[in-house]
Chains A and B, each alone.
Chain A
């Protein structure tokens, strides 16, 4: 029995969203979007957190971990109980660009959630004993993180790409964390957790205009000007020998490759986005079909474009069995060279275009997905319009545009690479493919 695969029917356009936006008198930018579905609300507060100070990663990480350990009239458990009784949750995370407070709750309890958020922002306690507890936990967590080959590999790649730039030192060192005092965390909060350049995104089963009033009432008393960040420009990654970091007896090798990419606002970005998908950005990509479905070297290779405030990067991750490390690198370089120097096909571009458009719709079809996407876009001055218009931009990309982007950004000659694995087993085979440098720090 053979049957034809059913054709696609006419696509339906997504419903238009009701949105309200405002900049409050304290400088806080607020974006509220009505998105019913489940009777919940998602909250994201993004506060710029760039700094060139070497003390920043450790202090910021501890601030993030200790931020919810007491505020105003609440002790640690009291604050958590108050949030929980709203059906809510808050969490805090930080990186080299921003501090992000995320939360969600029953939509009817948004006002109380905002009041609790205001208490944390304007009157945090950072109690001495709680900061000490979190300091010890952070050190243990960092040791757990660095016991993972992938984390070691990402850190090695970041150092290769960014050298002394703060982007290379996102995860703090344990001794730096051990030296942080509660007073330093409080001072950092005082200085940087300010509304002047912050963005608050609220998405859910809410009335956007009314929410703007609620935010003004709850967060109007949060004031102050964050200092201008003086962070050096991002350097251009300098290709060099393949860096090998030893992880004795590792049964797999973690290969990481990186290079520069384009930001979303660049006119050529949609073409680069599609080139990345063709290469390794989705399952039906060349890299996956070759390394996994043909060779069985790996569970899955992935390439992606990561957008940071100071620049975007093209990143490639794959874990392969130790004994096929060199063949996997050879195939990877072959695929990179192929996409950089030979045309892609119309069929490939059709498939990735559909995928990019479809998955954008899927990822913004939930309250949490839309809130996170809008928050990420806000750092670049982009918003709902960008999401709505992006399918048109993708539709306009030609096969030649994709080829040109691939030619410029996927050429192995401009990429930086590192491998974390059992050096004893992999160095000689890797050296047959080109220059190799063994890392001194492992």
Chain B
């Protein structure tokens, strides 16, 4: 039963047009003329999980190679054309996909489409570029992981304890040995197999005309030859049969930390169950009124910070099955880990057994809707959301439906979500602090 307060929550509306080119490229176009800017995003259906054994970190290294020139562009030209048009660009590698994107003034729309089409046609994969970007990627790993306290924690560490298969458990940044053994032939094969138009989604949104945009998309992406879409294997794993524990040494961290991971259900097949998990994470750690902030930070003074999230990168809509719910905390006293785990378990049991406080679910839900809509304000993040929901959920329009779907999640569903986070179904990784306090 939802009360009027829930019903009156605003729901975003988008004017989405779908089209599929003859080569299989799926296209989503969403006009919004409020500001003279456009977003262009291409998502390829390949990520960390598809890396071959012995080639950890390859999906990310390959992402770098996609910026090194293409059919009609010398090295450095991609960057220069985007930026001298007044735009910004980037790319990122995820567990289930890899994205490439630009935010541009709307008078550069065709140029942005050309740049993406040109590298979908043929990136310049050479020994020189590979060797240069191998050095750059090593520096990226040094700056983000090896030289940084809590670097890569827990996303590079927890999967190896929580999951079993190579696909789900290996280090996504890659070991230096694996990265160094990558060859130009590996990269060409990877491109041929996974970077087919039929394995990608293109989203374009912002200050544009739909028909003109579709014609431009056809002009630039249409000539790219059709290649078969690779069959994506299931990466699913059964529920954990018992608790797992591991320790991770961090030479720079001044105080210990812990990551507690739980395998949660298929986000695509059971979206409503997934949304109950998402609401649970917010209820546990979003803000000073949340259960674990009150208990662990304010009452028991056990931890300095605590957070809960779904998806290795903190985005609950970023992964297919399997995905994880993670609780992390930093704590000053290395001897208090068991007390922290016990307190978390008690709070989860309290949610499961005693249910929620009056108004609790509604305020958490209201805030979450607000957060989701705030993400849609920038043209680029809106574009990326359309592309991501089209690729992973098969439906860009789901972006607009999330507030309504969240409104329908019941207290019972959240209680069930809490009940599933049992001590015998979790992986606990303790970060051992080796740094100077």
Give me the interface of A with B, judged by CB distance under 8 Å. Answer: 1-15, 36-40, 68-69, 76-81, 83-89, 104-106, 108, 130, 133, 136-137, 140-141, 143-144, 146-149, 249-252, 282-284, 289, 292-299, 319-321, 350-351, 354-355, 357-359, 361-362, 365-369
Contacts and interface: CB of A to CB of B under 8 A. Distances in A.
B332 interface: yes
B92 interface: no
A3 B119 CA distance: 13
A9 B373 contact: no
A40 B9 CA distance: 11
A84 B293 CA distance: 14
B343 interface: no
A252 B135 CA distance: 13
Q: Kindly state the interface size class of chain B when it binds its partner.
A: 35 or more
Interface string B127-160: 0000111111011101110111110000000000
A141 B304 CA distance: 8
Given A12-B36, A321-B138, A358 B105 contact: yes
Interface of B: 9-10, 12, 34-37, 71-73, 75-76, 79-81, 83-89, 103-111, 114-115, 118, 121, 131-136, 138-140, 142-144, 146-150, 207, 223, 251-255, 286-290, 294, 297-298, 301, 304-305, 330, 332, 359-360, 362-364, 366-367, 369-370, 373-374, 376-379, 435-437
Given A77-B294, A84-B366, A148 B377 contact: no
Contacts of A250: 147
Contacts of B121: 1
A365 B136 contact: no
Nearest to A294: B132
B111 A354 contact: no
A38 B287 contact: no
B107 A9 contact: yes
Contacts of B114: 3, 5-6
B105 A351 contact: no
Contacts of A294: 132
Contacts of A320: 139
A68 B86 contact: no
11 contacts: A1-B223, A13-B36, A38-B377, A249-B251, A294-B132, A299-B139, A321-B138, A357-B86, A358-B104, A362-B88, A362-B103
Contact of B147 (A1, A108, A251, A362): A251
A15 B142 contact: no
A8 B115 CA distance: 13
Contacts, number: 240
B366 A87 contact: yes
Contacts of B376: 38
B254 A143 contact: yes
Contact of A137 (B136, B138, B297, B367): B297
Q: Which of A83, A249, A350, A362 has its CB near the most chain B CB atoms (within 10 A)?
A: A362
B377 A147 contact: no
A194 B260 CA distance: 44
A140 B331 CA distance: 9
Contacts of B12: 38-39
A104 B111 CA distance: 35
Nearest to A146: B254
A86 B366 CA distance: 7
Nearest to B138: A321
Contacts of B290: 80
B34 A351 contact: no
A147 B254 contact: yes
Nearest to B118: A3
Given A8-B108, A296-B139, A299-B143, A1 B367 contact: no
B72 to A, nearest CB: 5
Contact of A8 (B35, B85, B330, B360): B85
Given A80-B287, A88-B370, A136-B301, A15 B35 contact: yes
B83 A87 contact: no
A355 B83 contact: yes
Q: Which 9 A-B pairs have the closest CB atoms?
A: A358-B86, A296-B135, A87-B370, A80-B288, A351-B84, A80-B289, A85-B363, A12-B36, A81-B289
Contacts of B9: 106
